[in-house]
Chains A and B, each alone.
Chain A
Amino acid sequence: QVQLQESGPGLVRPSETLSLTCTVSDFSISSGYYWGWIRQPPGKGLEWIGSIYYSGFTYYSSSLKGRVTLSVDTSKNQFFLKLSPVTAADAAVYYCARSAYSGSYSFYKYWGQGTLVTVSS
């Protein structure tokens, strides 16, 4: 069973950089599949941020493109999210997830528990 765990600062100051790590257990990132980030502002709906293939190929949300960078470290079995600069609108629960199958980043079967990020000075 694939397990994912988000980690990173729970508080980020406006105009600074949000950095999160997703650590994957019981499955090797190098085995393939897409690895994604999805966020959910408190009380609101889901928003796709972007996805990265194990090889490092990336897809980004058109609404966040230019502020988002995804990367992967297969040796540590981790992938990463950087979002900069942040505003109050970026406050959300951030989820990392693995695609349902290796051929598409459109569906996510395995999810982390989510981590709440607050943006405040």
Chain B
Amino acid sequence: QSALTQPPSASGSPGQSVTISCTGSTSDVGGHDYVSWYQQHPGKAPKLMIYEVNKRPSGVPDRFSGSKSGNTASLTVSGLQAEDEADYYCSSYADSNNLLFGGGTKLAVL
């Protein structure tokens, strides 16, 4: 199965909102609500930001939100802050008990 498709880069100014997309198929994103998003700073382990499409683990600011429409999931970061600059990866459960990741999106805060 192929990886999920994410734009390689995204950017926004402090205080703005930015949305990152994650496109899959009916076998993964579109067929299951097990979509998650991870934030990864250079040299660090990924951090879970969103799970089950739109749920936030404790400690994750409510500036981070998730949604899904059809085969595409989205992560929105509102009120951009400098520390939000990082790589973001989506993930989805897929048919046949598989777990797929997207290729990653580098978010720049200008």
Q: Report which A residues bind B (CB closer than 8 A).
A: 38, 45-48, 51, 59, 61-63, 95, 97, 100, 104-109, 111-114
Contacts and interface: CB of A to CB of B under 8 A. Distances in A.
A100 B45 contact: no
Contacts of B3: 45
Given A38-B46, A59-B99, A111-B47, 16 more contacts: A38-B101, A45-B101, A46-B38, A46-B46, A48-B91, A48-B98, A62-B1, A100-B48, A100-B57, A105-B99, A106-B36, A106-B99, A107-B34, A107-B36, A108-B46, A112-B45
Nearest 10 pairs of A and B residues by beta carbon: A111-B45, A48-B99, A107-B51, A106-B34, A46-B101, A106-B93, A45-B104, A107-B36, A45-B103, A109-B48
Contacts of B101: 38, 45-48
Nearest to B58: A109
Interface string B12-39: 0000000000000000000000101010
B1 A114 contact: no
Contacts of A107: 34, 36, 48, 51-52, 91
A95 B45 contact: yes
B45 A48 contact: no
A62 B1 CA distance: 8
B99 A61 contact: yes
B100 interface: yes
A103 to B, nearest CB: 11
A111 B46 contact: yes
A55 to B, nearest CB: 16
B45 A46 contact: no
A95 B47 CA distance: 12
23 contacts: A45-B89, A45-B102, A45-B103, A46-B46, A46-B91, A46-B101, A46-B104, A51-B99, A59-B97, A62-B96, A95-B45, A95-B46, A100-B51, A100-B57, A104-B93, A106-B92, A107-B36, A107-B51, A107-B52, A108-B46, A109-B48, A111-B45, A111-B46
Contacts of A97: 45
A112 B89 CA distance: 17
